[in-house]
Structure 1
């Protein structure tokens, strides 16, 4: 009896094929997460003019790329315009963004405003520039959006940014607040959306690498050390290393708020909880005055 002829072994999958498959899976995951955020928070509706704020960083590149993909099959019609604010930072490569945006055929506009000189003049050397820089940048973008009739302003903050901001406010500003996926500006004129609200920063980094976005580093504030936000980010990174999945758990917690389990009487009616009768409850002044009286009596007795 003839011996069976062994079948040839399958050739190992090439590195390029494996990377492509992983990149396709990642792109699908990002489209799903961005689409879900848009639906969960009603970020985009029919007829919207969406101004996508493009900084030249990985986050805004990824946001623009995924929104353009979703736009092709979206259940509503909306337009996209990429807008960049050229803050006149030294050695800023002005050609990079226009060349990239033309290559992908997207409508875009570059706003030129020298906020760099303002920030450099006002903020003492060694102090963090982020706060003033952010206010000036926001003002320029809001003004442009109002002048040109954009109905939504899309920013590239991701899931980790939202969690980071929550702890930043908790530790340094003593308040439970964060960076919502959708908000109305203080003047009521602008609706700001964050389509990457469900997306991990690590996934954005991998996506940016796979897509080879022409990243432009921020030399104004990105190089500053010892920022409060950087401290919180470092803490969260260590937590995630010690307990993988912790940041995702905290991200989900931001969407599951229980006012009765916190301590804000403006969000929950603690005064009526378990109250007997209709008589008005004494206020804090009455209780404090009572405490002071008892303290005086005790001192006299002593």
Structure 2
């Protein structure tokens, strides 16, 4: 079922399709003959992910199969009919998997504690099993650029690691490749697109209401930075693609102990210059006071 769209929404759709297509190409996310399991939670990100992949599938130079999947975690009040009806309306092959992870999480996690870690592990295991049963070699998740940047800061500030969400990774059991085709898309653009398309959004009452989550605090921090200094999130993401190991401090990535005058180093000390400086003649030096 095609949804009528305004000129502005059509322009935004084309922009998002372009960003998604570029990410897929840059990281070689989808190849000819792939079967891609698209994880759909009922949120704005996964609806947009599915829309982008379906649009790109029609004109991609390679042939690949899409299967939409929703995990019904048996949260109280979850409208189980919404996603099947939506999938049918757009003509996408789909699977609805029912598993009461909600009760497990509520039973194991004390009141007031964050549930994301356990919920994520349970959900991940079910997704991997479903992908195997369906013969899907790729698993597409709806994480976007902002998610990846927020994860970087989470790991830096709370985990002591410079680590984020990669656009593409191999699962621990080596059975599947996880891809994030929205890696180049901003959350604000996705939110605008979802509103314009009037997707039937299903809120998550298990984790979405935990306002004290560290991730929520990081998100608020980045939103504040972007308000005061527009483009900060985009700049951080660009930095994630331009890593200079010789200017960090990880001995496993760069041989600091073996550093000599003959060691080739990217940029050297000019990496600390904010802009090129030009001097003519001698540089005046003031005596120390």
Query: CA offset at residue 71 of structure 1?
Result: 0.3
Give the match for residue 279 of structure 2.
Answer: none
Query: CA offset at residue 188 of structure 1?
Result: 1.5
Q: How does 1:111-150 map to 2 (within 5 A)?
A: 111-150=97-136
Query: CA offset at residue 275 of structure 1?
Result: 7.3
Give the match for residue 156 of structure 1.
Answer: 142
Greater helix content: 1
Instruction: Name stretches of at least 5 consecutive residues in structure 1 with no aligned partner.
Output: 1-16, 277-302
Query: CA offset at residue 185 of structure 1?
Result: 1.1
C-alpha contact (below 8 Å) 2:146/2:233 kept by paired residues: yes
Counterpart pick for 1:89 among 75, 80, 95: 75
Give the match for residue 65 of structure 1.
Answer: 51
Give the match for residue 217 of structure 1.
Answer: 203
Cα separation, 2, equivalents of 1:273 and 1:145: 47
Deviation track 1:138-192 (CA, whole Å, cap 9, x = no partner) reads 0000011112210100000000000000000000000000000000112211100
Cα separation, 2, equivalents of 1:75 and 1:265: 42
Give the match for residue 14 of structure 2.
Answer: 28
Q: Does 1:110 align with 2:79?
A: no
* SS in structure 2 of the partner of residue 65 of structure 1: helix
Q: Does 1:77 align with 2:63?
A: yes
* SS in structure 1 of the partner of residue 143 of structure 2: coil
Q: How does 1:1-302 map to 2 (within 5 A)?
A: 20-274=6-260
Ranges of 4+ aligned residues in structure 1 off by more than 2 Å: none
C-alpha contact (below 8 Å) 2:39/2:140 kept by paired residues: yes
C-alpha contact (below 8 Å) 2:137/2:175 kept by paired residues: no
Cα separation, 2, equivalents of 1:241 and 1:83: 36
Query: CA offset at residue 271 of structure 1?
Result: 2.3
Cα separation, 1, equivalents of 2:250 and 2:195: 44
Cα separation, 2, equivalents of 1:152 and 1:254: 24
Cα separation, 2, equivalents of 1:72 and 1:52: 16
Deviation track 1:20-41 (CA, whole Å, cap 9, x = no partner) reads 1111110010010000000000
Instruction: Name stretches of at least 5 consecutive residues in structure 2 with no aligned partner.
Output: 263-289
* SS in structure 1 of the partner of residue 104 of structure 2: helix
Q: Which moved more, 1:143-152 or 1:39-48?
A: 143-152
Deviation track 1:6-65 (CA, whole Å, cap 9, x = no partner) reads xxxxxxxxxxx9x81111110010010000000000000000000000000000000000
Deviation track 1:64-99 (CA, whole Å, cap 9, x = no partner) reads 001100000001000000000000000100000000
Q: How many residues align?
A: 259
Larger Rg: 1
Deviation track 1:91-122 (CA, whole Å, cap 9, x = no partner) reads 10000000000000000000110000000000
Cα separation, 2, equivalents of 1:113 and 1:190: 21
